[in-house]
Chain A
């Protein structure tokens, strides 16, 4: 288990200091689209320089190293308790070593635990799967963008949004319009649709660990994602909210079956620093 601990520390380092290639490529493409001499372009140039500096000096891309969120898939017979234990230890080591900013604050005392661990912190989701490998996806979710996420219950009269994918589309546009530039655009937008509130918030967040370049397995959702990305970028909020062509890099939608009486839509938004890293262990 010692090896697992070291591997998770490295996972933290990678996620915090080295932006995934697909996100960086997306930012570079958006840089090329923004007008010369604009504040948006100037800001993106610094963003791109910052990504390189962070990687070269192994320092966190953003001082808000966020809430660590783990999505873990394990085959039968592997102990969740043991993996959780190693994650807690690795989190303490990483906070000191990388360093990460201590972000876990006790609700009752308002004290910061100082090591990024506490009740339900980090967030860890387990799922048992067939096969013989463990996969660990880690996302460092910044709070600025976490704070602008929205949960909807369709239908929504003010948005003229019914219980269908067009209603979902209106929710996403509403969430981004309301967010404006407060969560560090260009955003990556995750959407979760389904039967219960707790399920859709997890599902929308899970969309944020998908590669920007992947293709939704459902053709109809792939089309929705594409259309929504185009429409979000018509809003003109732009990089950092300075105005411009790129408000989002991608929209990703995930679905579960719903109850006849419920149609929940959750919109999770990531800042441009969509920090994630993955690990695969063969048993």
Chain B
């Protein structure tokens, strides 16, 4: 994705994603944040890519790998790392579920990046949108769930819930639900 692609997206947009993306969850984030490996040590080009929070079930096939189930994992767990990974590695899209916090929202705005919300739990449906497993990094060291997988996806459905213009659907819903919550429990 280019910066322009990112800027054209706004909270609430429903988008179909096609192209190459990489996965990364708890271990990948901790590793990139703590070790800060130079880009040439990473076998895939992360610049301009989408980083998908996903710990899949993968089956080894004759020629490679197949995703059996590959829905998103909860993004907030990597909140403390994401802002610097976005700026260090030039990530243009962060994809997961449940949304992220202020630090990431600020990083989206500063770096031209967007948060894409996938359908949590729709693991088989989403695995069918993954057309090819094009590579894997750190499989031995991190294991199947935590490795970085390079994927080719086609028409992978997402909703933009945090954009590069400073808006977050999650913040807006939190605020609205807080007002209702206060009323329901009788707090002023």
Contact = CB atoms under 8 A, between A and B. Distances in A.
Given A47-B119, A240-B120, A101 B145 contact: yes
Nearest to A232: B184
B143 A62 contact: no
Contacts of A129: none
Interface residues of B, number: 47
Interface of A: 39, 42-43, 46-47, 49-50, 53-54, 57, 59-65, 99-103, 112, 114, 142-144, 147, 159-161, 169-170, 173-174, 177, 180-184, 231, 234-238, 240-243, 271-273
B184 A43 contact: no
Contact of A46 (B59, B97, B122, B176): B122
Interface in B136-188: 143-145, 157, 159, 161, 169-170, 173-174, 176-178, 180-181, 184-187
A50 B121 contact: yes
Given A64-B73, A99-B68, A183-B74, A53 B173 contact: no
- Residue in B59, B128, B184 whose Cβ sees the most chain A Cβ within 10 Å: B184
Contact of B70 (A63, A99, A183): A63
Nearest to A65: B57
Interface of B, secondary structure class, is: mixed
Interface in B94-129: 97-99, 117, 119-128
A62 B121 contact: yes
B73 A99 contact: no
Interface in B11-52: 12, 14
Interface of A, secondary structure class, is: loop
Contacts of B55: 63-64, 101
A144 B98 contact: yes
Contacts of B178: 177
Given A60-B68, A101-B144, A144-B98, 8 more contacts: A50-B123, A59-B123, A102-B143, A102-B144, A160-B187, A234-B180, A241-B170, A243-B173
A221 to B, nearest CB: 19
B76 interface: yes
Contact of B54 (A39, A57, A63, A173): A63
21 contacts: A46-B119, A50-B119, A50-B121, A53-B124, A54-B124, A60-B123, A61-B69, A63-B55, A64-B71, A101-B144, A102-B145, A159-B187, A160-B186, A173-B184, A173-B185, A174-B181, A181-B173, A236-B176, A240-B119, A240-B120, A242-B169
